[in-house]
Chain A
Amino acid sequence: QKEVEQNSGPLSVPEGAIASLNCTYSDRVSQSFFWYRQYSGKSPELIMSIYSNGDKEDGRFTAQLNKASQYVSLLIRDSQPSDSATYLCAVIPGTASKLTFGTGTRLQVTL
């Protein structure tokens, strides 16, 4: 089992819809969770971090964490074509001091 798993996609959503991206992780004692956005040919960019159960909102983005079920999700409201990118989920497992990345979900927002 991979440490961090994501559906590779592509996930296609129409403009204005809600995009829902999911990620599961294997280490039950993980404490820190992140979402990075990576446009084609560019570097990953940190967009959200979440450390406790529940929801965290930042503009059109909401991160959701459920430690009991070991999943973290990212919701993008009012999706725009500019949101089309690969979204990487990253976790710091257990007592480790380094990020482990999932392979990313490619999001396509269609007009």
Chain B
Amino acid sequence: DAGVIQSPRHEVTEMGQEVTLRCKPISGHDYLFWYRQTMMRGLELLIYFNNNVPIDDSGMPEDRFSAKMPNASFSTLKIQPSEPRDSAVYFCASSLNTPREQYFGPGTRLTVT
């Protein structure tokens, strides 16, 4: 299996621009998670989906962030407009049947200047 796939791996953008991060979960996995990792705050859950339905978005920092999962094999995390404080590594993870054992993608390193 190819594992969780994320794109792009690196993104550099200017403040105010729209950023879209993409994730393809492991085939057959029905849970999908978006995390953000920074030195200051560690690994934080932003939102997760079960069977393409958003279950908990309480970690989404503000309305500038949105996430979608139009089908079982694709999800996006969008930031509009982006700000320098959004600079972080964003991970997507997936799991099978339960949210227990999650498998992480390689991450997208976002830099907002």
Contacts and interface: CB of A to CB of B under 8 A. Distances in A.
Whether chain B is bound by chain A comes out as: yes
Interface of A: 32, 34, 42-46, 49, 88, 92, 97-104
Interface of B: 33, 42-43, 45, 48, 55-56, 91, 98-107
Given A43-B105, A44-B91, A92 B100 contact: yes
Contact of B104 (A43, A49, A100, A102): A43
A43 B100 contact: no
Given A42-B106, A44-B104, A97 B42 contact: no
A88 B107 CA distance: 16
Contact of B101 (A34, A88, A98): A34
A88 B42 CA distance: 10
- Chain B interface, >50% SS class: strand
A46 B98 CA distance: 15
B104 A45 contact: yes
A28 B106 CA distance: 33
Contacts of A46: 101-103
A97 to B, nearest CB: 5
A98 B45 contact: yes
Contact of A97 (B56, B91, B101, B107): B56
